[in-house]
Every structure is written in structure tokens, then in C-alpha cells.
Amino acid sequence: MAALLETKRDLIAMLARGAVRVLLAAAWIACGGAMAAADDSLYRAQTVVTGQGEPNRIVGFGACLEDVLIKVSGQPMLAGDHRLAAYKSKAKAFVSSFDYHDQYAGKPHHDEQGTRDRPYDLTVNFDEKKIDGILARLGLKPWRSQRPVLGVFAEMQHGPKDYVVTSDGTQSDLQRDALAAAAGKRGMRFVLPDTAALTSANLTAAELLKTPPAKLSSIVAAQGEATLLGRLVWDDKDLGWATQWRMAWHGKDYKWQFRGVTFDEAFRRGIGGAAQVLSGNGDPGRSK
């Protein structure tokens, strides 16, 4: 039953991501295997709204504002921060432009469905100076330095299945999509090892956590500049993934963990924690 529930939940996530699969594949090729978020996208965010009415648009502006503040600063602990409520309520004042994409474009309306009932991707661009001003009032600053490319090594264990997420393995399709979405949301770039590289290094999923970071970084040395190591284990009791993340940066080891989440959320927190470390915003293992 637990496995069935997980399958249903991840199937929903897969369908939601289906519309962007072609774009993700194109980005993968264009970046030579490193999924990237362009610099000019740091002040841009996207969310899904129902219809193009102003009430839903205002809610979408607020959600996108939170994402942009996190992305620009590199501080994931802003998620759900009560201090953002006042800014989100007037998020329209910080918007420079926005547009919609109909997820059902080219498909006929069903029954009495009108345009207001159709799901749209709302893409919002924010004014850079205004966003930087909000961050300053929150005691934060924009993370403007070059963001290192993350070499991500993630083990997925679900019952007898135990494997490393790779750039080319078919069993990693959903995880690659989730990592790409997480990286885009947090303004990060990443690269995954390919199957041949893991085989050449004689590295298996079971040995991943025991492997020295130097050996891992050498596997993606051509592109990865910082190494992020994760382990996700499915827990039937929590109906979610128990997750551990680890990275070393400037001579210090960082570890953070949580449980009972989807792998989409696990990757968001993994990439977000790495951004927090790299941007100098503290230790994700000691945050709230």
C-alpha cells in the first residue's frame, strides 16, 4: 500500500513536469550535461495559476516574490518567513512584467470549462532594485558572485532498489527532472555523473556515503566545482523519503537531514541547503 501511495504521488509530479521535459532535455544538451539557471533569470520566477483573473494573479505574484527573494539571496530559510507577509500582500508593486502560458494550449475546452478554469504557467519578472531593497531590509544581500556548479551524487533506496541518480540512466528520469526544477528554483547549476563514470570509478550506491569527497569530485571534475552528496531512503511509516545531505566547502563539513517528504521536496532542500552554504548564509544543519 505504501509503495502504491508513493507511486501515485510521484505519478502526479511526473505529469506536472511532463510539459517541460523537452525543454529540460534541450537545456541539458546546450549546457553539456550541466543543468543551468541563467543569471538574468535570478529575478524571475514561475508558478501555476487557474485562469488569468487578477485575484489568482495576485496570489501568484506573492508566491513568485518569495521564490525570487530566496533565489537572489541564496537563503532558503526565507521560505515561510513571517516577515515576508507584508511584502507578498503588495507583490504587484515589485513586478516589472509578467506573462502567461496556457498549459492546455491547442486543446479544446472540456464541457463548460472556460479560460478562467484552465491552468496557466505565470512567469513573473521583478524589479532588481526593489528586490535588492527588500533583501536589505531583511538583513540580507544579493548573491552576485559566480555560483559554483554542483556535482550532485544522490543515492535512491526504495526497498531492494538502490541506485545513484545519473545523467543517462532511464531509472533516473524523474529524479533528473526534479533536480532540474530544484536548481532552477534556487538559481543553481548542477551536473550529474554518468553511468560509465561511476563504473570506471567502481562506485556503487551502497559505497557512496563512504567515498572520499575528493574521489567524487574527480568523477565530475570537468564541470563540478562543489560536491553535494545525498541519500534518500523510502520510509513506509512516514510515507516519504528520509533524506541526508552532505557537502564540504572551504575546509568545513556541512550535514543536514529531514524525513517524510517527496523526492521533489528533498531535492529542493538539498539544492537550497547547498546554496545557503555557498552564499555564506549559514549552516543548513543548524537552521530552523
Q: Is the pTM of this model over 0.75?
A: yes
**Measured distance CA(12)–CA(17) in Å, rounded:** 9
Between 231 and 5, whose confidence is greater?
231
pLDDT tens track for 176-185:
999 999 999 9
Say whether 50 sits in a helix, a strand or coil: strand
Query: pLDDT above 90 covers what percent of the chain?
Result: 70
Distance of CA 93 to the CA centre of its chain: 26
What is the per-residue pLDDT for 116? 57
What is the per-residue pLDDT for 21? 42
Residue type, 230: G
pLDDT tens track for 217-269:
888 876 778 999 999 999 999 999 999 999 999 989 999 999 999 999 999 99
Grade residue 107 by pLDDT with cuts at 50, 70 and 90.
confident
Please report, for residues 198, 216, 217, the alpha-carbon distance to residue 168 in angstroms, rounded to integers and kept in the order given: 11, 17, 18
CB 245 within 8 A of CB 275: no
pLDDT tens track for 7-36:
444 544 444 444 444 333 333 333 334 444
Task: Name the pairing type of β-strands 161-164 and 119-126.
Answer: unpaired
Q: Residue 48's beta-bridge partner residues? A: 121
